[in-house]
Chain A
Amino acid sequence: MEEQKFTEKESLELISRMIQNTQRKMEKGAGTPMLIWGSATVITTIIVWLIVRTTYNSYWNFLWFLIPVFGCIGMLLRKKQSRGIRTYVDKVIRSIWLVLGITGFTLSCLSILNVMWHLPILFIIILIMGMGTVLTGLIAEFKPMLFGGIVGMLLGAVQYLVPNYDAKMLIFAAIFIIMMIIPGYILNQRAQNHV
């Protein structure tokens, strides 16, 4: 292959072919982090909801910390199948989720520990995660995430306005199914077919 006849036209074709191939690569299991964090949130919400509504003790809100516990365990257990490259899109998306994740976690801590008890924390988390989902959908040009994020944020307004605790919690869980679990599942199906 080395040092053989190589025209300027072939040279340009090679460059565009390599760049196009690279852009088309989709990581197998790309949607798994969304499935993990979405499921961790939904399961924890149901647990907190069931316990708080039966005990009437807000002390159980500390169980919200199960989200990072479940999430981190899931991320450690997942079999990461590297595709051998890391694109700039990956880097941007990772940075967005890192910043939003830290912001959401910090605000949740301040709310659960009663430092900022008056915050409508569930609504704020929906907005933060919704923004992350919409941005990721736009950057990765993945419509299920874009629409999931928009619908999630709109339902967030409903979640904020309904006065009933049960409805608030169930809408919160439903939003994470729409915003993360469904797009994550679709993404994994597509990645499976495109690798």
Chain B
Amino acid sequence: MFKELDPLLHSELRLGIMSILISVEEADFVYLKEEIKATSGNLSVQIDKLEKAGYIKVKKTFKGKMPRTICKITQKGINAFEKYVEALRSYIGEKGGGSKTWL
């Protein structure tokens, strides 16, 4: 039986953001943009979605005179990410790494 994949995480951009945030204490907007290779507008929208879901916390500060947006994963986000990976494993395990698409 396949477990349901969290649609909020099953998106390349949002999963990229969450994968970075799960392995660090915090990351800023510029870093995420460079790593994920997304446009600022698109990244902002995805960060906003994750924040509204309670998966990440966003803090706006200043570095000198430049505004800086810092993102940090929440416990809810960690739980969702772990559940997502577990669900992913059920697909890989049962299908041996097939290539069916869900989105």
Q: Contact: B42 with A1, CB < 8 Å?
A: yes
Distance A3 CA – B101 CA, assembled complex (angstroms):
11
Nearest residue in B to A88 (C-beta to C-beta)?
B25
Nearest residue in B to A80 (C-beta to C-beta)?
B63
Q: Chain A residues with Cβ under 8 A from B22's Cβ?
A: 19
Q: Chain B residues with Cβ under 8 A from A11's Cβ?
A: 10, 15, 88
Pick the residue among B15, B26, B42, B97 that contacts A14 (CB under 8 A): B15
Pick the residue among B27, B32, B85, B97 that contacts A9 (CB under 8 A): B97
Assess A85 versus B88: contact at CB under 8 Å? Given A6-B11, A6-B103, A8-B98: no
Let me know if A7 is at the binding interface, CB within 8 A.
yes
Q: Contact: B103 with A4, CB < 8 Å?
A: yes
Expressed in whole angstroms, the minimum distance between the Cβ of B16 and any Cβ of chain A is 6
Let me know if B60 is at the binding interface, CB within 8 A.
no
Let me know if A99 is at the binding interface, CB within 8 A.
no
Nearest residue in A to B87 (C-beta to C-beta)?
A8
Distance A7 CA – B36 CA, assembled complex (angstroms):
17
Nearest residue in A to B103 (C-beta to C-beta)?
A6
Q: Contact: A1 with B100, CB < 8 Å?
A: no
Distance A102 CA – B10 CA, assembled complex (angstroms):
46
Chain A 1-30 against B: per-residue CB contact (8 Å), 1 yes, 0 no? 111111111111011011101110000000
Expressed in whole angstroms, the minimum distance between the Cβ of A7 and any Cβ of chain B is 5
A-B contacts, 27 of them at CB < 8 A, read A2-B11, A2-B12, A6-B10, A6-B103, A7-B99, A7-B101, A8-B97, A8-B98, A9-B97, A9-B99, A11-B15, A11-B88, A14-B16, A17-B19, A18-B23, A18-B36, A22-B20, A82-B28, A83-B31, A84-B30, A84-B32, A85-B25, A85-B26, A85-B28, A85-B31, A86-B26, A87-B25
